C-alpha cells in the first residue's frame, strides 16, 4: 500500500502541485491550507468547501498528523514547558514564554541534537532524528489551538531542541508554512532561527529566506570555542564571522549574538574585550545568558558582579547588550535544558 502524504509536510506551492497531480484546480490548495492552519481541522471530511469526491480522494492518499500534547509544566515565572509526542512515539519539547502583551513560542527542529555543546543538556542526549515540517510547524499549530496561551503567540524562536540549520530543508519548509498567508500568517520579522555556527548554511539561509538570525557564540576565541562547541573545529570563528557579515539584514534589523556566561570559563572583562573586537563593525546586538545548570552539568552560573562587569565592557564599546532573563529554569525549560524526556 502506498504511503499517505502528510499535507502538513507540504508548503503552499507543494500542495498546489499535489492537487494538480490529482487532476484538480490549483486554487483548491489555498482552501486546503486554510482549513488546516486557520481552522485546525483534523480530517478532510471537515473541509466543506471541497467536493465530496475530492474529500474522499484526499482521505485515501493523504493524512493530517501533527504532534500531540502529553504534558504541560508551569514555571514559577509563568513559562510553560510542553511535552509533545510524535507519530513514532518519540518525544520533543516546546516552550511558551510570557511577554508583556504576548507569548513567544520556542520550537524544536530535531529530536535531540548532534552538536555536542558541553554546556547543553539537549546535546548530551545525542540526536534521535530530524523533525519533519509537520512536526516543526505542527508544534505551533498544536500550541495555538490546544493551549489557552496559544492564540496570543506573536513571536517564534527556533531555539528548542536541535540545530535548525542541520535540518535545513525541513526547517525552511516549516518557516514557509508558518509565514504563508494561507498558513499561519506570521510575519518574517517575528521568526528567529538560532544556530551554533554552521557557516555555509548561514550563507544559504540568507539567500533563501529573510528571517532574524541568532548565533550562539559563547567564547571569544577559537581555542575555547573548540573546547565548548565542537562545531567550531569545522567552522572556526573566522568563517563564522564572514558568514555573519554576508548575512542580509534589511532595514534596522540586527544580528543577535547569544553568549552563555559560565563562571571562570568565559565571563571575565578581558573576554568581553575580545568579544567586542571580534564583532567590530557588525550590525548586531548581544544577549547575555547566565548558564542554566542541569543535572550533571560541569559548569556553574557566574556571579551577578561578573555578569555586570562583562556587560559594562560591551556597553562601553557601544554594543546593545541585554542580560536575558532565564525563563523556566525551575522546570528545566530554559536555554540548553530541554530533553524531550517523557518522565
Annotated catalytic residue, options 93, 149, 163, 293: 93
Respond yes or no: is residue 335 known to be catalytic. Answer: yes
Contact 121, 159 (CB under 8 A): no
CB atoms within 10 A of CB 227: 13
Q: What whole-number distance in Å separates Cα of residue 21 and Cα of residue 159?
A: 36
C-alpha cell at 185: 500568517
What is the DSSP pairing of strand 91-98 with strand 103-106? antiparallel
Backbone phi, psi, residue 159, to 5°: -135, 15
3-state secondary structure 279-325: CCCCCEEEEEEECCCCCCCCCCCCCHHHHHHHHHHHHHCCCEEEEEC
Q: What whole-number distance in Å separates Cα of residue 247 and Cα of residue 214?
A: 11
Contact 176, 209 (CB under 8 A): yes
Q: What whole-number distance in Å separates Cα of residue 181 and Cα of residue 17?
A: 18
Q: What is the DSSP string of 119-154?
A: T-HHHHT-EEEEPPHHHHHHHHHHHHHHSTTGGGEE
Angle, vertex CA 206, rays to CA 159 and CA 220, nearest 5: 60
Annotated catalytic residue, options 63, 106, 120, 335: 335
Respond yes or no: is residue 76 known to be catalytic. Answer: no
Residues forming the active site: 93, 335
Amino acid at each position: 500500500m502506498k504511503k499517505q502524504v502528510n499535507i502538513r509536510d507540504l508548503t503552499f506551492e507543494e500542495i498546489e502541485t499535489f492537487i494538480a497531480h490529482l487532476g484538480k484546480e490549483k486554487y483548491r490548495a489555498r482552501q486546503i491550507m486554510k482549513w488546516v492552519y486557520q481552522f485546525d481541522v483534523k480530517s478532510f471530511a471537515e473541509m466543506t468547501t471541497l467536493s465530496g469526491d475530492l474529500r474522499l480522494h484526499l482521505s485515501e492518499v493523504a493524512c493530517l498528523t501533527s504532534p500531540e500534547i502529553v504534558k504541560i509544566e508551569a514555571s514559577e515565572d509563568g513559562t510553560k514547558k510542553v511535552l509533545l509526542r510524535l507519530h513514532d512515539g518519540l518525544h520533543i519539547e516546546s516552550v511558551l514564554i510570557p511577554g508583556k502583551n504576548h507569548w513567544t513560542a520556542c520550537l524544536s527542529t530535531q529530536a535531540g541534537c548532534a552538536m555536542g555543546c558541553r554546556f547543553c543538556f539537549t546535546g548530551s542526549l545525542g540526536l534521535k532524528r530530524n523533525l519533519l515540517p509537520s512536526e516543526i510547524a505542527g508544534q505551533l499549530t498544536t500550541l495555538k489551538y490546544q493551549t489557552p496561551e496559544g492564540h496570543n503567540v506573536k513571536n517564534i524562536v527556533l531555539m528548542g531542541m536541535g540545530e535548525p540549520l542541520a535540518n535545513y530543508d525541513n526547517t525552511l519548509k516549516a518557516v514557509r508554512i508558518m509565514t504563508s498567508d494561507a498558513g499561519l500568517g506570521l510575519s518574517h520579522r517575528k521568526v528567529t532561527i538560532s544556530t551554533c555556527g554552521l557557516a555555509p548554511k548561514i550563507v544559504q539561509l540568507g539567500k533563501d529566506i529573510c528571517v532574524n538570525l541568532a548565533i550562539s557564540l559563547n567564547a571569544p576565541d577559537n581555542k575555547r570555542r573548540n573546547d565548548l562547541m565542537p562545531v567550531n573545529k569545522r567552522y572556526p570563528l573566522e568563517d563564522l564571522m564572514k558568514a555573519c557579515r554576508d548575512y542580509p539584514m534589511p532595514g534596522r534589523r540586527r544580528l543577535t549574538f547569544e553568549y552563555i556566561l559560565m563562571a571562570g570559563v568565559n565571563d571575565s572583562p578581558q573576554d568581553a574585550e575580545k568579544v567586542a573586537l571580534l564583532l567590530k563593525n557588525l550590525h548586531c546586538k548581544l544577549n547575555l545568558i547566565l548558564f542554566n545548570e542541569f543535572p550533571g552539568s560541569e559548569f556553574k552560573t557566574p556571579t551577578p558582579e561578573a555578569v555586570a562587569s562583562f556587560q559594562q565592557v560591551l556597553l562601553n564599546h557601544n554594543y546593545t547588550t541585554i542580560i536575558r532573563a532565564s525563563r523556566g529554569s525551575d522546570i528545566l525549560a530554559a536555554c540548553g535544558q530541554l530533553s524531550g524526556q517523557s518522565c
